[in-house]
């Protein structure tokens, strides 16, 4: 265990930066749950697809890493909308267990397909941004991590603004609150569900672009990041948009501090220990109000 003040400061800075990306990954999951009450266990695999798209655009076509957002965001929107329409929409009114088993099946299918196409290799990219380090006293952070945090905050604010101020955003929120009343008011609930699922998937396209300059991709990368997303959503409160962002920062900090203070796999104990404590003592989430 290491308790150097410099190490702790470095861990705090890194935790906040990566926590912003964890929050962005989780925003899409909490949006889908908040609108349709569907737990998408394929969420991490959608992110994996986005990472592969960005990787091949950079290595095969020579794109700048951050220009890949022009493809990953609309690409993930279309992929999410297609998978929703073909697989999830027909069972929206089925029991929850049917929905869980379906999304688990989609997750396994996407992961197995990636292993068949790309094998089990861990892939990463080397970019000019990786070598740019900013020093703030004893804390050193790379430019890609700063860009990822700023981009995550900006994407979250844009999505929040869209849902709060646009007609389609209001339609999505109305469909989430009362689908029957929304239908009576002339809202096409089926279309808003499709759009919500597509938007939730599109956020993963943005996250993939922001992550890849300092992260990696592999067929199983979605397992860990998907699990982190579920932890963040529970910590923030299921369906709570702002709570998901706060939960992402909490998990980012615990991941980073755990890695600094404990060796090897013990760092995960720190993260999931906090998760268990929240489940036991505040299951409604960090920002949710307790029910009387």
- The pLDDT tens digits of the residues spanning 243-268 come to 888 889 988 988 888 777 776 666 67
What per-residue confidence (pLDDT) applies to 265?
Answer: 63
State the alpha helices, DSSP H only, in 137-265.
143-165, 167-177, 179-184, 189-211, 221-236, 241-261
> What are the backbone dihedrals phi and psi of residue 216, each rounded to the nearest 5 degrees, phi first?
-145, 170
What per-residue confidence (pLDDT) applies to 157?
Answer: 92
| Cα 85 to Cα 143: distance, rounded to the nearest angstrom | 39
pTM of the complete model? 0.91
* Regions of the chain short of the pLDDT cut 70: 1-3, 263-267, 287-292
96-105 contacts, C-beta under 8 A, 24 or more apart: 96/39, 99/38, 99/39, 100/39, 100/41, 103/38, 103/39, 103/40, 103/41, 103/42, 104/41, 104/42
CATH node for 5-281: 1.10.3470
Would you tell me how many other CB atoms lie within 10 Å of the CB of residue 96?
A: 10
What per-residue confidence (pLDDT) applies to 266?
Answer: 66
Tokens linked to 113: 């397909």
What per-residue confidence (pLDDT) applies to 263?
Answer: 66
Structure-token match 């009576």, residue found: 184
| Cα 90 to Cα 125: distance, rounded to the nearest angstrom | 39
- The pLDDT tens digits of the residues spanning 217-240 come to 999 999 989 989 988 988 887 778
Structure-token match 């909308």, residue found: 81
């Amino acid at each position: 265990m290491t308790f150097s003040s410099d190490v702790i400061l470095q861990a705090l800075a890194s935790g906040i930066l990566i926590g912003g990306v964890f929050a962005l990954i989780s925003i899409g999951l909490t949006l889908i749950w908040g609108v349709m009450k569907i737990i998408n266990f394929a969420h991490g695999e959608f992110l994996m697809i986005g990472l592969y798209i960005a990787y091949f655009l950079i290595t095969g076509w020579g794109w700048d890493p951050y220009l890949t957002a022009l493809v990953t965001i609309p690409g993930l929107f279309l992929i999410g909308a297609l998978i929703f329409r073909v697989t999830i929409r027909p069972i929206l009114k089925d029991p929850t267990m049917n929905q869980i088993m379906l999304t688990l099946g989609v997750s396994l299918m996407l992961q197995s397909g990636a292993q068949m196409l790309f094998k089990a290799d861990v892939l990463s990219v080397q970019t000019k941004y990786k070598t740019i380090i900013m020093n703030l006293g004893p804390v050193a952070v790379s430019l890609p991590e700063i860009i990822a945090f700023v981009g995550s905050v900006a994407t979250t604010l844009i999505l929040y603004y869209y849902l709060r101020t646009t007609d389609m955003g209001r339609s999505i929120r109305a469909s989430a609150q009362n689908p029957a009343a929304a239908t009576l008011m002339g809202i096409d609930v089926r279309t808003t569900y499709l759009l919500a699922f597509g938007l939730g998937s599109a956020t993963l396209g943005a996250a993939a672009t922001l992550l890849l300059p300092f992260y990696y991709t592999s067929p199983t990368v979605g397992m860990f990041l998907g699990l982190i997303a579920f932890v963040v959503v529970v910590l923030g409160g299921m369906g709570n948009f702002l709570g998901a962002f706060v939960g992402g920062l909490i998990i980012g900090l615990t991941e980073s501090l755990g890695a600094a203070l404990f060796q090897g796999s013990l760092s995960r104990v720190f993260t999931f220990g906090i998760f268990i404590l929240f489940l036991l003592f505040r299951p409604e989430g960090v920002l949710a109000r307790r029910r009387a």
